[in-house]
Amino acid sequence: MSGRAYHHGDLRAALIEASFGLLAECGLQRFSVAAVARRLGVSSAAPYRHFPDRDHLLGAVSATAAHDLRAAITAAADAAGPDPAARLAAVAGAYVRYVTRTGAGFHVIFAAELARLPGDARREQTRALMTTLLDLATAAGTASYPEAVRLVEATIAVAHGYTSLYADGFFTRTAGAVDDIAARAVQAARALLASARR
C-alpha cells in the first residue's frame, strides 16, 4: 500500500500496514502519525478517528508485529528440522528477514513508550511471542528458566545486531543480501549455542 493513496475500506488496517512501510524506511525515531497519513493520502486528522495518538498506533503495530514475527519464527524452526539447537538458531534468521522487511523488531514490539498502554491484544501477542522463544530455548537444553531467558536474549541480540548492521549499510546490498545476512545470523547463533553448552 506504500506510496498509493487510500481510497476506501478499512482505514485502521491500512494505517497499520502503512506504518510498517514507514518503519522500514525511516525507523522508530522518525515515525509519526502525520507521516503515515501522508503515505496513505488521507488528512492528518483521519488516523485519529482510529488511534488517539502515536503510541496507540504503534501499539497496534506492535501487536501485529509480535503475531507475525512469532509465525515467522515458528515456520523457520519447523523448517530447521527436529534438532533443538538448529530450531533455536533458526530464530535468528527469521528475525533478520522479518525486521529488514518490516522495520519492526523488538525495539518496536517492546518499545518503552508502549508499556503504559492498556492494550490486551498487544500484551497477548507479545506474551505468545516470548513463550514460543522460551519454549525453543528450553528444548535446546537449558537447565532453568533464567538460563532460557538469557539464551533467548543472546539469540535475539545476535539477530538484532545483524539486522542493525544491515540497516546501517555495513553489508553490501546486493540481490540475496538479506538471505545471506540471515544465514550468517543463524551461523552465529549456532556458535553461541555451542559455546553455551560447553
Closest Cα partner for 141 from 86, 91, 96, 73?
86
Q: What pLDDT sits at residue 160? A: 95
Positive or negative, the CA dihedral 8, 26, 71, 64 is negative
Q: Cell 512469532 belongs to which residue?
A: 70
Q: What pLDDT sits at residue 145? A: 93
Domains identified in the chain and CATH numbers: 1-51 (1.10.10.60), 53-197 (1.10.357.10)
Q: What pLDDT sits at residue 14? A: 93
Closest Cα partner for 92 from 156, 32, 4, 147?
156
Tens-digit pLDDT string for the chain (198 aa):
344 554 456 899 999 999 999 998 888 888 999 999 999 999 999 999 999 999 999 999 999 999 999 999 999 999 999 999 999 999 999 999 999 999 999 999 998 888 888 768 899 999 999 999 999 999 998 889 999 999 999 999 999 999 999 888 888 776 568 999 999 999 999 998 888 766
For the entire predicted model, the pTM comes to: 0.89
